[in-house]
């Protein structure tokens, strides 16, 4: 079977099974369920919000947050808008955050739940922040405001397999973090390799490793590509 870009696989799934469950997110002691259509609608609205900022195709957008449904939706939205995601470990310190943002030339940052916001405040060189919908998150732009303000983006970008999809930085334990360039083909290949462990498309996958980690990125792509039900902690 020929390779298909993860974003195209996602859109195909939305079209074929819009009301099937895709994500479960724990919020306030309760579980919130998201169908494939729910995720697609939010991603298209966030993509429209990103495009309204005037960024150029191929620009980098960072994500700094603990695992959440919004992390996954933001990553899809970035690709749909024609940009490249730059995940940052939520445990990163001030100097690492500053280095990754500068080295990647990121234009904005999605911000979610963190244990300590002081590192972001000190490490952010005045880039605009887009806050996930949690009370403790302070940002220039609020996620729910974009969901209310924008209609779902019609002209969704579906990158080519060999286009850059994301920049994944190493943890920096042996020096400055190294930016690893990953294409859609890279992630699709990793997801295909992981999928051989699962025989049923109804299997559940628990998202636990930081989403900035390459293994977790591959696992999330597998869930998006091969229809597994992703549980976000």
Tell me the per-residue pLDDT of 122-132, one tens digit each, with 9 for 90 and over: 999 899 999 99
Condensed to tens digits (0 to 9), the pLDDT of residues 1-41 reads 588 899 999 999 999 999 999 999 888 788 899 999 999 99
pLDDT of residue 4: 86
| Residue 109 exposed, middle or buried by CB count within 10 Å (0-12, 13-18, 19+) | buried
Question: Is the distance from CB of 62 to CB of 139 less than 8 angstroms?
Answer: no
Distance (Å, whole) CA 223 – CA 232: 12
Distance (Å, whole) CA 41 – CA 133: 16
List the structure tokens of 20. 């099937």
Region 64-77 average pLDDT: 96
Which of left, alpha, beta for 70 (phi over 0: left; psi -120 to 50: alpha)? alpha
Spatial CB neighbours of 13, under 8 Å, sequence gap ≥ 6: 20, 22, 36, 224, 227
Distance (Å, whole) CA 13 – CA 10: 5
List the structure tokens of 119. 């590192």
Spatial CB neighbours of 42, under 8 Å, sequence gap ≥ 6: 73, 77, 147
Lowest average pLDDT, out of 9-18, 24-33, 45-54, 67-76, goes to: 24-33
Which class would CATH give 6-232? alpha beta
Strand arrangement of the beta sheet that strand 106-111 belongs to:
141-142, 129-131, 106-111, 60-64, 84-88, 164-169, 179-183
Scanning the structure block, which residue is given the tokens 């895709």?
22
Distance (Å, whole) CA 100 – CA 104: 6
pTM for the model: 0.94
Condensed to tens digits (0 to 9), the pLDDT of residues 146-162 reads 999 999 999 999 999 99
- Does residue 137 register a pLDDT over 70? yes
């Amino acid at each position: 079977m020929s390779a298909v870009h993860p974003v195209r696989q996602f859109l195909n799934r939305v079209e074929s099974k819009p009301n099937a469950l895709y994500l479960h997110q724990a919020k306030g002691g309760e579980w919130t369920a998201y169908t494939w259509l729910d995720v697609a609608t939010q991603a298209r609205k966030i993509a429209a919000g990103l495009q309204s900022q005037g960024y150029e195709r191929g620009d980098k957008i960072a994500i700094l947050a603990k695992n959440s449904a919004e992390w996954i939706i933001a990553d899809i939205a970035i690709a749909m808008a024609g940009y490249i995601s730059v995940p940052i470990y939520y445990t990163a310190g001030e100097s690492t955050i500053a280095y990754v943002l500068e080295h990647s030339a990121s234009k904005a940052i999605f911000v979610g739940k963190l244990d300590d916001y002081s590192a972001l405040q000190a490490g952010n060189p005045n880039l605009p922040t887009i806050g996930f919908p949690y009370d403790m998150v302070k940002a220039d732009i609020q996620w729910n405001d974009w969901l209310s303000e924008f209609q779902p983006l019609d002209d969704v970008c579906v990158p080519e397999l060999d286009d850059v999809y994301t920049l994944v930085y190493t943890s920096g334990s042996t020096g400055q973090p190294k930016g690893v360039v990953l294409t859609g083909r890279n992630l699709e290949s990793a997801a295909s390799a992981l999928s051989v462990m699962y025989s049923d498309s109804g299997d559940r996958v628990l998202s636990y490793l930081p989403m900035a980690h390459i293994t977790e990125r591959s696992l999330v792509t597998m869930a998006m590509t091969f229809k597994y039900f992703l549980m976000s902690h």
